[in-house]
Every structure is written in structure tokens, then in C-alpha cells.
Amino acid sequence: MDWQSSIEYITNGKHLAWYASVRFTLIAAVLGALFAVFFGLIGAGLKQSKWSGLRLIGTVYTNMLRGIPDVLFFLFLPLAFEQTVEYFLAQASCTSAELADGSTWPPCADAQWYLTTTEYLLMACVTFGIVYGAFAANVIHGAMQAVPKGQLEAAMAYGFSPKQIFWNIKVRQMWVYALPGLSNVWMLLVKATSLLSLLQIPDIVLWAERLGAANYVAFKGLIHDDWRWKYYLVLFVFYIILAYVSERFFNWLQSRAGRGMIEVR
């Protein structure tokens, strides 16, 4: 294959779709991270609650979810949510005979919920947020504990309420301590975006598998043999670049978060 043919090959429609699928990986990573921080703040807040029941919920969330394999939870939550919605649709749309049959799921065509790629992607982002929010909760909880006690005591002396102390002192000051740990959670989440293909989201991994497989055309025969290792090598480079950019970004955040603080550890 000469250079002109190579350029034509890597700029055909399928390859352009592969390049465009990078957006699914980036959207899943960014939205998943935002959800992870959200659930992490909730989990850390629960672990510091004065109510033992809420502390138990926070402890269960942070400890149990970290022990569940990512791929298992990633497959379970979207499927469970989808079938739960179809269950309620079936109760509203299907006849009694169809509900009693039980040989097919959903029981009738009106109960079938056809999900789009966008809906699957959103469920994937929420799943990432729940799973990695458990890791983030531990990081945030430890960072809150690292906030100097003198600042909390001073806030109490000035008449701040516990809610004001939590949001204006603990949450504001803890980022400088939390960012190194959150950067590790981010990198774990970025690596987990390779699971998107399990939900048939046409991401970079799914396209690499399709494009790298032995390619046959009826009137031409074999176009190329198994090239998957070449496409996976491209993914290696992509994730390495993403890791490098992420590291630089978190270093910048760390410097911003530490401004005005007397001592940063």
C-alpha cells in the first residue's frame, strides 16, 4: 500500500467515524468525573455526619462499592435500570395474559424501551460516578480531616453554624489535600472508559476492534489481515497523551488551590 492509498484508507468514512468516537470517551470521562465528585462529596459528608445511621450509609457506600469489580457494576446498573423501566411499562401497557405468559421479556412490544447511544452514555456516566465516587469519598473524607483544626475552632468561636463550617471551611480548604488523590481516581476513571464498548457505545475501542479485524470485500477479497494490534497501539498512544495532559492539568489545579494557604502538605 503506497502513501497515497494509505492516506485514502485512514481518511475513509469508517476511520472518520473512529476519530469522531473520541468524543464518547471524553464525555464519559468528564461527566463521570463530575458525578464522582458529586457522589464523593455526599459520601464524605455522610461519613462525617453526627447521625450514626447516616455514617453507616456513608461507610457502606465507600467500603462495599470499592470491592465490586468495575466491569460487573458497569454491566449491572444499566441493565437493571433498563429492565426496571420496562417492568413498569409492562404493567401499564401489557394485558394480563401477556404478563402471565412470562416466556418473553418484555411481555409485549409496547413495553420495549429502545435506548439510544446518548441514553446509554448517560447511564454509563452515572455508573462511573457511583463507582468512582466511592473512591473519591475516601479521598475527600481524608482531605477534610487534614484541614487544620485551628481553623474549625476559630470558625466556631466566630459563631459559624456546623453547616457553614462544613461548606465554607472544610470543603473550601480540603481541595489542596484532596487533589493528589483525586488525580489518581481520575486516571482510574479514564482507563475505565474502555468499558463503554460493552454497552455497544461506538467508542474508540469498539471501532478499533471493527477496523482492525480482517477486512474482506466481496469483489476484492482480503483488503488486510488482522491489524487489531496496530489499532490498539494507537489507543495506547492516545491514553498516554491523555494521561500526560491530565497530569499537567492537575498540577495547575494544585497550584491554584494552594494559593493563599500558609502551609500545604
Model confidence at 104: pLDDT above 90: no
pLDDT in tens, 184-227: 999 999 999 999 988 889 999 999 988 888 775 555 545 677 88
Q: Which of 4, 28, 44 is nearest to 170 (CA)?
A: 44
Q: How far is CA 54 from CA 62, 78, 164, 167, 246, in A?
A: 12, 26, 19, 18, 34
Whether the per-residue pLDDT at 9 is higher than 90: the answer is no
Asked if the model's pLDDT at residue 265 lies above 60, the reply is no
Cα 56 from Cα 14, distance rounded (Å): 50
What is the rounded average pLDDT for all residues in the chain? 87
User: Quick one: pLDDT at residue 218?
Assistant: 53
**Can you give the pLDDT at residue 64?**
81
Cα atoms in the 13 Å half-sphere on the side-chain side of 158: 10
CA–CA–CA angle 210, 214, 219 (5° rounding): 110
Domains belonging to the chain, first-starting first, are 19-257 (1.10.3720.10)
